[in-house]
Amino acid sequence: MNAETRVYDDVFDMLPREENPSPMVRITRLAPVEGFELFAKLEWMNPFGSVKDRAAWSMLRDLEVRGQVSATRGIVEPTSGNTGISLAAMASVRGYKARAVVPEKVPDEKKVILRIAGADVDVMTDSMCPSPGMGEGSIGMARSYARAQPDKYVMPNQYENAANERAHIETTGPEIWRQTDGRVTHVFCSLGTCGTAMGLAQYFREKHPQHKVKIIAVQPTEGHDVPGIRSKSELHVAKLLRPELVDEVLEVETEAAYAAVMELCQREGLFAGPSSGLIFEGARRVLRRDRLQGVGVMIFCDSVFKYVSSMVKHVEGLGEF
């Protein structure tokens, strides 16, 4: 492997880490305030297309080290798509079976990619979920598979697995520190499993306690239509969440998030997905409100290409910016 020349011996060598980070791009045309450098960390540049490559690899390697997966015992995971895609692709390459249990509202593109990656896909309809659209049904179904067929399936469980947040302590945090030359003052991210936010908060507090990097989480409002992340009432399934590690939580409306996607695409050339639009809109509001000075990094989870079917109803009437 030669990260400098971008020549790799194996697809797993492409996974992000301090020596081979996912790229960061400065926001210029949409910069919210003067004197604050705002960067987007483009996680869709990871080999399997999202920030979840990090957690998936960390969880899978942990299972391998503990002898929990084999040619006869694969993985089953509840997912909004991205973690499932990463896990399924990695498992397939390494010779394990994968099953993904997804809520009905997951975009069709992700369901197709899951199957292409090698996963068996179960779609949970809202009628089978205790809280429609929130994903609890898929979590329960995946757990049922693992309990009923322990010789066939193990469930990594991204919502509770410490390897999820450890991935960001070991990779995302050090990357950001190095890429900003230690100047980062704010990190903006969303809350889904909460592994990203918790891992980054732990990294900066433990490794650079005097620097006081603020972790700002951006959530959708209730009744949202932003796949992969959770509103306040939906976060109870995220057992990794420790609210005291987050400096601020900001809510952004669905339409504002989708409008920000259009802006990012048309003004910055960044084809970011809906959760990234949500994060950018939240960062913009915080920076304009507080007139901050510093260096901020936004975790852009994936690209808009996984959400074309979801975008259709939001695109009409938005026009150009």
What is the residue type of 146? A
Please state which architecture CATH assigns to domain 52-154: 3-Layer(aba) Sandwich (3.40)
Question: 11-46+161-315 and 52-154: same fold?
Answer: yes
172: Cβ–Cβ under 8 A, 6 or more apart, which residues?
16, 41, 51, 54, 196, 199, 200, 203, 299
Instruction: Supply the DSSP string of 227-238, one letter for each residue.
Output: TT---GGGGGG-
pTM reported for the whole predicted model: 0.93
204: Cβ–Cβ under 8 A, 6 or more apart, which residues?
173, 177, 187, 211, 213, 215
pLDDT of residue 136: 66
C-beta of residue 204 within 8 angstroms of C-beta of residue 183: no
- CA 148, 153, 156, 159: dihedral to nearest 10 degrees? -40
Chunked in runs of 10, what are the mean pLDDT values of the chain (321 residues)?
A: 86 96 98 96 98 98 98 96 96 97 91 96 67 62 94 96 98 98 98 96 96 96 86 89 96 94 97 96 97 96 91 68 48
Separation between Cα atoms, residue 29 and residue 17, nearest integer Å? 29
Q: Give whole-number Cα distances, 218 to 42, 215, 241, in Å.
A: 17, 10, 14
What is the residue type of 270? L
The catalytic site residues sit at 52
Instruction: Supply the DSSP string of 16-53, one letter for each residue.
Output: -BTTBPPPEEE--TT--STTEEEEEEEGGGSTTSSTHH
What is the residue type of 212? K
Q: Which residues of 56-95 are buried (b: 16+ CB within 10 A; e: fewer)?
A: bbbbbebbeeeeebeeebbbbbbbbbbbbbbbbbbbbeee
Separation between Cα atoms, residue 111 and residue 295, nearest integer Å? 37
Domain boundaries, the chain: 11-46+161-315, 52-154
Domain 11-46+161-315 annotated CATH 3.40.50.1100: yes
Separation between Cα atoms, residue 64 and residue 47, nearest integer Å? 20
